[in-house]
Structure 1
């Protein structure tokens, strides 16, 4: 309505100005200062131009320019539109308050407590070895970890030698080597010649171009022991026969393991990270295919900063055929736990690090050995810890620990001891 007021007001003003100009021309028809004719819509300038006489003369109005104002109504009466256009606004009532709001996000249901027991891997009986007079034979199951997933045969080597054959249906690889072949090393003791092999598994990529593996590398130590002493006398031989049980143990195949355990000794510890002052729980165990009772021992353990046991620095904390000397040397809480099973031996080691070592990694290499449970505890087969009261045995045979402060001699006799090397990182 306001816009219409303005438009009609302007029309009225222009019409009024035009009428006033016509009235002045009628009253003064002979004024020479006003141009009489326009060409092309442009006023012509006179021939004789006088600055005092402008081309466009200012028009004069007898009355002031009329201003139109909107009419006002009395109080309580509607206003009247001069142009006859009446605008009405109809209110339908009071405006209700807006009650809309943003919808709330749906709540996710809370998951109830789910009973969960972490399954820890069980050592698999996947390696068997046999030592002949001049050679050694090793059989390896391709389901090496016992998880139902056979590994590629190309990942297994015996001292750098690939498998000589195998049984495809049974998924078994066979390695054969002379005692001096396939990277074997010879160790000579007072009574034995020991030929040592290393069965290595190196994981390979699951697929070409995919930089992941789904298995870990493994090194299994295999040893062949041969006695250095033989009777060459021409006299009649009077042999002392080895008992049948002991003979069975000597010919059996054993699977050794060395694991980190939780504080309650119930499970294998899922992490190998420790802080200084923590107690590390180790469990050495052996599995046998026969039912002959056996007993496992930790013959020695060495800590190094790299996997090489001959590297420097290194720290021997179990030595002398089963003497845990860490508590005596450093005053720590390291000790063997009292034995509860013959095929298991548990010990504790207080965490440490090497002085001035750049890395916090510590590699532990232990030599495990097994003997028949009927064999008595001896200075060569023992598990001794140092305490305030002296040396004590994990098998309650404390008298055998007396040599831990000196040298425990190697006994030459009929005891058949099989040794296994287990690397733990």
Structure 2
């Protein structure tokens, strides 16, 4: 028998597992099963299971009331989005919705209740609770001495200043000097932000797909408020005229402003509230498409208008803008410095 203890000797940094040990640990490769629930559909409820999040869709035709979404919840979490034909819940499993997580010898289970509890002096629809479950079959072997792989989450949030393809900075009110420390705004002040793409070829345009504000630097925290959504629609421009995409000298830089606001949850406190902006961005062709655009809402004409291109690419801002096929994985999520509202 060959003594291979040197192959298992601890060392600094990392090195590849020897091939003989890979065969011992992995054994005979097993067929990769789907997570149960990922393809489970019905006429009323659809459950999509991912490694780090769950997506539940409930058909609107189930309900008679137009405001049924106000009485519908996934555990303790409200409806995430309202679509033409369904209500959607999209939450990370880390979110405090009431997910019950259980580990079994052959699989890992995540379960939660879908609640519908209409209120009022009379009932025209019956309340219900539907148990939902995702099962994740284990894809690795376990040994007393061995390695336990940990799945990497799908979205990686990075610090403001990065050596990658994008940087995100809040410039001053004139849009010139970058603010690198915490800044305090007054309620109603316009807050300016800027995304730089660092494209040396000059053939790419920077697009901001989504931005939301949280009351901490943790992008998974709640409450949160979405200002840009639906692949480049400035949804907050329908609420505040100060929220809009801004033109610039180069399309490799995208500037925008947002009207300063407070979360209701902390409005009664005397101390300033602290916020952070988190944005998902990508680099694409200079000509915008429904999946890559910068659209502001024009209150005067009650239409959506693209910053540089044809306004027709903004038509989907009132519904759902479909995602394009990934082009080289240039999409990235970054977070801004925090700021405070006085």
* TM-score (normalizing by structure 2): 0.49
Higher share in strand: 2
* TM-score (normalizing by structure 1): 0.40
